[in-house]
Chains A and B, each alone.
Chain A
């Protein structure tokens, strides 16, 4: 499968400050989460992808188009939803959308029709006829999303698309992202701080910290633990079981009052686990392969950098 975004050794300096440091990255079609703490370089990376910032060194391609070349073509194929408001004073939501579509090359009447269609898709009602400055945060968020997709781009770059949305709207927004990828093949780069959003819709993640890529890969692969282990849900007192497992030579780590992580695969540790449970009278309610949480992956990636810095 051809890469959607291919970056090699991208470095971006602002004076003496290095915002991106030797970024080498390959993003495949699909929904990819772009994560990183504040100041990690996510916004700079977006600017580089959109051609809004020139790179200090390095090369790359976006949708097969070399970085810095054919910017109008890249921008007509990419839909960008910025984190902050961007609108014109005094014009309504549908007019804003019509303007966005026309700037992307849609004829005037077609832009208006498409604008209404996209606003319907985004669940916007009659508020579309009101000036944008009177919109609530949620309405503005939907309008920004609509502006990003109005010209039917191949790649969507969404910067914090669910910030400020209530749980129902947040779920609806994520659902739209799913529909766009699943039914229409639109690739999405989702830049967010909300890890459950990434877990809900992304297949791959890229974690940036201090301007460098720390983690990149499939979410499924990243969540697999390095050493095979089991996540065990226990009913009753957990402490005797931990002691019994230790005596039988199995390392067991207590997660909370009901969960244990036991080193070893189901084939190797399963039998011992059942025997220990029978011996201590513990009830085992569930066994499944242990997985790293995204939060753990994120903290590990960012923590690694912090530890290196200190």
Chain B
């Protein structure tokens, strides 16, 4: 029994604005997801690519100081490890030498190199890790609420269905951006801090905006899709299975379609792989010279996916509640 029990008391205080109630849903979801030790492990792992690329930024600055070892190391990594767009491959072949002969200014050269690093971050390591993170946190977010009838906890209170959806999306987006936007922005900041002067900002000012765009492209469609799947079932494992199946089978279809020349970049079969579609669009946003055939079609496809997922989500959340 409590030492001091005042019994029931009326409550008269200031309430928080109704428009901010989605933050409660988001905060609760973020805290609940954080209790998973697997999530913490994946997040830790997700920062390793960013740290590795940060090391390359450091080596790049060393190379600028006429360090031959750095120059060779960076050339080796760029040509053998990273994905370099065909248009830029020639420029990186004799890194440090050819660039100067082609009359690229130091600012342009940095822009080119940083774009390359970000391109690799957004097209390879992070989407794969994002798949794991979203697959871990999104499936139970709505399915468990349906199963445990927590909908009544939410909707018998002053909370609109759209606020609920916004709150749940924020949970997935928070962790998604933590492993995509945050390392990319920190990489950019590290590059600025390691460069000789702040005038580098004049040459690379567009990169943070491109990072934002690319992060939005690889996180938003996935978030909406994962939550739509979660809303379709009361079993989170089915939602998780559906999530991974969509990515894996899509990837396999793309690989199979690649074997047949009849299926062009504008065909639906070619673009059934969500992984390829999102990373291609993100690549194009990060580097306008990046060759992404069927870019327009892919953008439309992502738009349709977002709209359909949102419609499913809204319909399921607004479905008649059992009292």
Which of A2-10, A81-89, A201-209, A272-280 lies at the interface? A81-89
Residues of the B chain whose Cβ atoms lie less than 8 Å from the Cβ of A86: 148-153
Residue interface bits A55-96, CB-to-B below 8 A is 1, else 0: 000000000000000011101101010111111111100001
Residues of the B chain whose Cβ atoms lie less than 8 Å from the Cβ of A176: 8
Residues of the A chain whose Cβ atoms lie less than 8 Å from the Cβ of B140: 89
Query: Would you call A102 an interface residue if the criterion is a C-beta within 8 Å of the partner chain's C-beta atoms?
Result: yes
Task: Determine the main DSSP class of B at the interface with A.
Answer: loop
Residues of the B chain whose Cβ atoms lie less than 8 Å from the Cβ of A73: 158
Tell me the minimal C-beta distance from A47 to chain B in angstroms. Answer: 5
Residue of A nearest to B23 (CB): A102
A106 touches B11 (CB 8 A): yes
Interface residues of B in 96-144 (CB under 8 A from A): 140, 144
Query: Would you call B15 an interface residue if the criterion is a C-beta within 8 Å of the partner chain's C-beta atoms?
Result: yes
CA distance A85 to B148 in the complex (A): 7
Query: Would you call A230 an interface residue if the criterion is a C-beta within 8 Å of the partner chain's C-beta atoms?
Result: no
A75 touches B323 (CB 8 A): no
Residues of the B chain whose Cβ atoms lie less than 8 Å from the Cβ of A80: 152, 156
Interface residues of A in 95-149 (CB under 8 A from B): 96, 99-100, 102-107, 110, 114, 117-118, 120-121, 125, 147, 149
A interface bracket (residues with beta carbon within 8 Å of B): 35 or more
A76 touches B158 (CB 8 A): yes
B158 touches A88 (CB 8 A): no
CA distance A177 to B197 in the complex (A): 71
Query: Would you call A17 an interface residue if the criterion is a C-beta within 8 Å of the partner chain's C-beta atoms?
Result: no
CB < 8 Å neighbour of B321 from A52, A83, A149: A52
CB < 8 Å neighbour of B32 from A71, A88, A114: A88
Contact A82-B148, Cβ < 8 Å, known A72-B18, A88-B32, A117-B6: no
Residue of B nearest to A43 (CB): B323
CA distance A88 to B8 in the complex (A): 25
Interface residues of A in 149-205 (CB under 8 A from B): 149, 151-152, 159, 176, 179-180, 183-184
Query: Would you call A46 an interface residue if the criterion is a C-beta within 8 Å of the partner chain's C-beta atoms?
Result: yes
- Looking at B2, B18, B24, B32, which has the most chain A CB atoms within 10 Å of its CB? B24
Interface residues of B in 62-119 (CB under 8 A from A): none
B158 touches A105 (CB 8 A): yes
CB < 8 Å neighbour of B152 from A82, A90, A179: A82
A90 touches B149 (CB 8 A): no
Contact A106-B145, Cβ < 8 Å, known A75-B157, A75-B158, A88-B32: no
Tell me the minimal C-beta distance from B6 to chain A in angstroms. Answer: 7
Query: Would you call B1 an interface residue if the criterion is a C-beta within 8 Å of the partner chain's C-beta atoms?
Result: yes
- Looking at A104, A106, A125, which has the most chain B CB atoms within 10 Å of its CB? A104
A180 touches B13 (CB 8 A): no
A47 touches B323 (CB 8 A): yes
CB < 8 Å neighbour of A72 from B5, B6, B8, B160: B160
Contact A104-B157, Cβ < 8 Å, known A46-B323, A86-B150: yes
CB < 8 Å neighbour of A88 from B1, B10, B153, B323: B153
CA distance A88 to B171 in the complex (A): 15
Residues of the B chain whose Cβ atoms lie less than 8 Å from the Cβ of A83: 323
Contact A82-B149, Cβ < 8 Å, known A104-B157, A120-B5: yes
Query: Would you call B249 an interface residue if the criterion is a C-beta within 8 Å of the partner chain's C-beta atoms?
Result: no
A88 touches B150 (CB 8 A): yes
Contact A88-B144, Cβ < 8 Å, known A75-B157, A106-B16: yes
CA distance A50 to B157 in the complex (A): 9
Tell me the minimal C-beta distance from B133 to chain A in angstroms. Answer: 18
Query: Would you call B320 an interface residue if the criterion is a C-beta within 8 Å of the partner chain's C-beta atoms?
Result: yes
Q: List residues of B whose CB falls within 8 A of some A CB.
A: 1-2, 5-16, 18, 21, 24-25, 28, 32, 35, 140, 144-145, 148-160, 320-323
Known: A89-B144, A159-B323. 9 other contacts (CB 8 A): A52-B155, A76-B15, A82-B149, A85-B149, A87-B148, A87-B150, A99-B153, A106-B13, A107-B14
Q: List 23 A-B contacts (CB under 8 A).
A: A43-B323, A47-B321, A71-B158, A73-B158, A80-B152, A80-B156, A84-B149, A87-B148, A88-B28, A88-B145, A88-B150, A99-B28, A100-B153, A103-B25, A103-B153, A103-B157, A103-B158, A105-B16, A105-B158, A107-B16, A121-B5, A121-B8, A151-B157
6 smallest CB-CB distances across A and B, nearest first, come from A105-B15, A72-B158, A152-B11, A86-B152, A86-B149, A103-B157
